[in-house]
Amino acid sequence: MQFRKIHGAGNDFILLSAPSPGSDEDWAKEAERLCSRRTGVGADGLVVSRPVGEGSQHLEVDCFNADGSIATMCGNALRCSAWAARHDYGYQEMTLRMAGVDHQAMVGDDAVWVTAEVGSVHPRVVQVVINGRPTWFDGAHTGTEYVVAVVSDVDSIDTELVGRLVRHHSALAPLGTNVNFVQSVGRQALKLRTYERGVEAETLSCGSGTVAAVVIATMRGLVAPGEVTVHNRAGEPLVVRPHNDRRQTKWVGGPVTQVFEGVLA
């Protein structure tokens, strides 16, 4: 089976485009096997993308985290799928359905944009001590679960340690959560680090997490409503923009890079 190794601003995936309909794989199990950094291809997730009908500019996209769990929303997986659909079918604009939700996508020369739906926001859902300072996390749903802490220096945080602690916090059971640490670095700019549930580690960037960070940073007055640039561990910033017509919808955009193509054994 043909695959792409591809990343959206450092969030890396194994992407299968239009696997043959007969291939009745256990994708969750395949995700665990293939995403392994030592014995597989290595990735944060496995993405399976299929066109819905011929020439309809509509694709169904499933994203499995590295541990085999399903991601109900993955902005970077959607951006990578859109990039591949441009390459494979010539689509510049399309609709991508993930976990029953339609996302718009636009592929430009320098950036690929997808929409994310902003759901409920819950101020102060959990508090933990970080570097000796009691720190609150606000909850935000952007297609999947996030908590976001505003901190003065994201680089001083042991993201793996604190992220894992919060991800498994009893107050957030049974679903758990992805965990964001965000810092203001200018009028309309943020710096973000994310511990991802399902990868169970810090990732280099996170699309829906970036949207959640902007939602909470706006609520907390770190940035004004409007376009926000979010710097990440990859050094490939993502940008969040309001949607012209829908208040609860945001665009998230940035680079997509294909690393190589291959054939799975």
Ligand X SMILES: N[C@@H](CCC[C@H](N)C(=O)O)C(=O)O
Q: Which residues bind ligand X (CB under 6 A)?
A: 11, 65, 71, 73-76, 144, 178, 196-199, 203, 206-209
117 assigned to a ligand binding site: no
Whole-number Å distance between alpha carbons of 256 and 45 = 15
> What's the Cα-to-Cα distance from 244 to each of 4, 227, 237, 251, rounded to whole Å?
33, 12, 22, 10
Residue 174 tokens, joined: 């049974």
Angle at 263 between CA 255 and CA 10, to 5 degrees: 20
Nearer to ligand X, 78 or 150 (CB): 78
Catalytic residues: 74, 206
Whole-number Å distance between alpha carbons of 7 and 143 = 20
55 assigned to a ligand binding site: no
11 assigned to a ligand binding site: yes
- Look at residues 262, 263, 256, 264 and name the one whose alpha carbon lies nearest to residue 87: 256
Whole-number Å distance between alpha carbons of 45 and 138 = 26
Nearer to ligand X, 71 or 256 (CB): 71
Nearer to ligand X, 199 or 216 (CB): 199
> What's the Cα-to-Cα distance from 240 to each of 11, 71, 247, rounded to whole Å?
17, 20, 13
Nearer to ligand X, 11 or 17 (CB): 11
205 assigned to a ligand binding site: no
Which ranges in 36-190 belong to alpha helices (H)?
Answer: 75-89, 159-167
36 assigned to a ligand binding site: no
Q: Binding site for substrate: which residues?
A: 11, 65, 75-76, 178, 196-197, 207-208
